Amino acid sequence: MGTADTVASLAIDGHVAVLMLDSPPVNALSQAVREGILNGVNEAIARPEVEAVVLICDGRTFIAGADITEFGKPPRAPGLREVQDAIENAPKPVIAAIHGTALGGGLEVALCCHYRVAVPSARCGLPEVNLGLLPGAGGTQRLPRIVGAPKALEMVTSGQHVGARECLAMGLVDEIVPEGELRAGAVALARRIVAERRPLKKVRESDDKVAAARGHPEIFADFRKANARKFRGFLAPEYNIRCIEAAVNLPFDEGLKVERQLFTELMQGTQSAAQRYVFFAERQAWKIPDVPDDTPLVPVKKVGIIGAGTMGGGIAMNFAGVGLPVTLVETRQDALDRGLAVIRRNYENSARRGRMTMVDVDRRMALLSGSLDLRSLADCDLVIEAVFENMAIKKEVFARLDAIVKPGAILATNTSALDIDEIATAVKRPEAVIGMHFFSPANVMRLLEVVRAKQTSRPVIATAMQTARKIGKVAALSGVCPGFIGNRILAARTQQAQAMLMEGAMPWDIDRALYDFGLPMGPFAMSDLAGLDIGWSKEASRSSTIREVLCEMGRRGQKTGAGYYDYDEQRNAKPSPVTEQVIRDFMAKAGGTPREISTEEILERCLYPMINEGAKILEEGIAIRASDIDIVWINGYGWPVYRGGPMFYGDTVGLATIVARLRAFGPKLGRQFTISPLLEKLAAEGRRFQDLR
């Protein structure tokens, strides 16, 4: 952290003052940077020989945003507003010279300058929405005054960065100068502005772009409708939209007030707190206390995958996507052909949607080779096994691999639930064995659970994490236990959901409650999607559970047109009277009478046992930290990010409340259910999961 004097310097170039910021890594708007800009601008104004000011940054980027470490702390002068006013009201033209990224507060500063110039590789954006916020320093009021309401709506609600050429086209920058010539280009522009006596353009005073949207409320209504699914449950996109509406309909200063008020509301609310927590949690998850950063890595240049089924194929796509050659091994030619064909079809679909070119498709396919012989994996650095979920088969595969694959290679399994310590007994190098648990579809889902077995070596763990990062996943480290972190918590929920069926709740009641809570779907819709017959067989079926009976009736989920729900041709789900009767019959047989179960109770019954299971996972040392559990559930199961993950949510509810409710449910939770001692302890001490460090 520098001081104002060390992070900002003023140089006079002819009659142009060049105010250079240098606050690595990203010139964030810390107190020192704010003060540095303010002093520099004031000095430039005071010096009579100066006719114009260029605001430019050293290092890899223009101001890339607020200093997020200052969030939640008492404000320190000068505030950003004061800095912006000094720039905007300067009696001499101020030109922002942009390279790298001008993001958030950085772009809001640039928007107060009278002109903006950028290099072609520069990008601008207002990403606040991703932290559950809105640009609170005039961004929502100035941006639409330059680019118009429709483009501003896109930018503030998506948070996406816009490239310099597009910025030029929409008026956000005035000029593009060649790469590497930003300073000279900006100074030259400054001289021209002075020579041509161009006006001091204040964005706040321009009205024509917002006037175009005035009297057209349908612009906003349509935008809300088109994005309803994407914005579901989130407050920040809606608040951003309201700010753009204010920019269109109110005078600038009134609009600023709306922006300020909505910003404060978001900043003080739980959604943004959750989203900021998740931002840090994702970065934290990479850090493993006993695997230091300097742990040697196994160089991964060639990958082998065993099994070209649902998972193997998706996993292979991840590696081809980053240019790594992959060998897929199957037992039969037809299975191999099918696996490769599915991959090709996936790529071609992406190409059709414009996400890649056909050249990309061919390039990726060229990285994939198939084989029916495990010996083709001999020189792989990383082998991932994705064969049937069967211990005997997996052990056999690992024993054979052990004899084939070169020393030092990593032997990973994608098992969902099998004991990896037991799999490791099949090889003479258990230190090389690790779980790399991908989620389906493996080429899409962001989560990778890296599962450390008892003897897994540190370099193997470090390399698995590094590999996850390389293929663009979010990784969380788990220890070995049934279901690891994610599925173990899922099982706790499934058990309660099933139990509630026997008390009077219908599958759609439970699914609806969880959907409205923000999850993509509830347990029964999920089961219908995956197939009710996973792990079920006709021979072993005893009509002993609701699921068994539905399977016996041929109701095996979406693929059979019926499961817990009935489905029409378009796979729209409808509550099923047949399922309802099956449930009622079960209940009658057990001598139960249905009762009304409120949405609130459904949520508590489903969610609190998940949090309790998370606490057990923590106390057993399966997860390193509560936030890792949250990362797993957000990225692997679609837990709404604005609720921060199950453990963060537990903290917001209050752990004492959760313990009290679990106690009140008592025997309803099942004979096996016990409250986690860690959860009880934290509750008694009035502490949160976040306080565990």
Q: Catalytic residue positions?
A: 108, 128
Which residues ranging from 332 to 361 are in contact with ligand NAD (CB under 6 A)?
Answer: 335
Q: Closer to ligand NAD by CB, 92 or 556: give it.
A: 556
417: number of Cβ within 10 Å: 14
- Nearest distance from C-beta of residue 445 to ligand NAD, angstroms: 9
- Nearest distance from C-beta of residue 423 to ligand NAD, angstroms: 10
DSSP sequence for 374-428: GGGGTT-SEEEE---S-HHHHHHHHHHHHHHSPTT-EEEE--SSS-HHHHHTTSS
Which residues ranging from 131 to 190 are in contact with ligand NAD (CB under 6 A)?
Answer: none
Parallel/antiparallel/unpaired status of strands 162-163 and 123-125:
antiparallel
Q: Does 415 participate in binding ligand NAD (rule CB under 6 A)? A: yes
Q: Does 444 participate in binding ligand NAD (rule CB under 6 A)? A: no
Q: Does 243 participate in binding ligand NAD (rule CB under 6 A)? A: no
Task: Measure CA 374 to chain center.
Answer: 36
Q: Are 304 and 327 in contact (CB under 8 A)?
A: yes
Q: Does 331 participate in binding ligand NAD (rule CB under 6 A)? A: yes
Amino acid type, 8: A
- Nearest distance from C-beta of residue 418 to ligand NAD, angstroms: 7
Rounded to 5°, angle at Cα 671 from 639 and 681: 60
Sequence length of the chain is 693
Q: Does 328 participate in binding ligand NAD (rule CB under 6 A)? A: no
Q: Which of 100, 144, 312, 430 binds ligand NAD (CB under 6 A)?
A: 312
Q: Are 40 and 10 in contact (CB under 8 A)?
A: yes
- Nearest distance from C-beta of residue 256 to ligand NAD, angstroms: 50
Q: Does 309 participate in binding ligand NAD (rule CB under 6 A)? A: yes
Q: Does 3 participate in binding ligand NAD (rule CB under 6 A)? A: no
Please list, in sequence order, all residues whose beta carbon lies within 8 angstroms of the beta carbon of residue 481, skipping any fewer than 6 positions away: 488, 617, 620, 622
Q: Does 310 participate in binding ligand NAD (rule CB under 6 A)? A: yes
Q: Closer to ligand NAD by CB, 281 or 308: give it.
A: 308
Which residues share a beta bridge with 566?
A: 562, 574
Q: Does 101 participate in binding ligand NAD (rule CB under 6 A)? A: no
Report the distance separating Cα 686 and Cα 3, nearest Å: 39
Q: Which residue is nearest to ligand NAD (CB)?
A: 309
Q: How far apart are the first and last CA of the chain?
A: 25
Which residues share a beta bridge with 54?
A: 18, 95
Q: Does 304 participate in binding ligand NAD (rule CB under 6 A)? A: no
Window of 80-88, 254-262, 286-294, 304-312 that interacts with ligand NAD by CB under 6 A: 304-312
Q: Does 447 participate in binding ligand NAD (rule CB under 6 A)? A: no
- Nearest distance from C-beta of residue 496 to ligand NAD, angstroms: 22
Q: Closer to ligand NAD by CB, 487 or 612: give it.
A: 487
Which residues ranging from 535 to 554 are in contact with ligand NAD (CB under 6 A)?
Answer: none
Which residues share a beta bridge with 20?
A: 9, 56
Q: Does 393 participate in binding ligand NAD (rule CB under 6 A)? A: yes
- Nearest distance from C-beta of residue 248 to ligand NAD, angstroms: 47
Report the distance separating Cα 15 and Cα 52, nearest Å: 7
Q: Which of 387, 475, 489, 546 binds ligand NAD (CB under 6 A)?
A: 387
Q: Are 237 and 223 in contact (CB under 8 A)?
A: no
SS3 letters for 10-58?
Answer: EEEECCEEEEEECCCCCCCECHHHHHHHHHHHHHHHHCCCCCEEEEEEC
- Nearest distance from C-beta of residue 434 to ligand NAD, angstroms: 14
Window of 262-270, 278-286, 328-336, 537-545 that interacts with ligand NAD by CB under 6 A: 328-336
Binding region for ligand NAD (CB under 6 A): 306-312, 329-331, 335, 386-389, 393, 397, 414-416, 438, 440
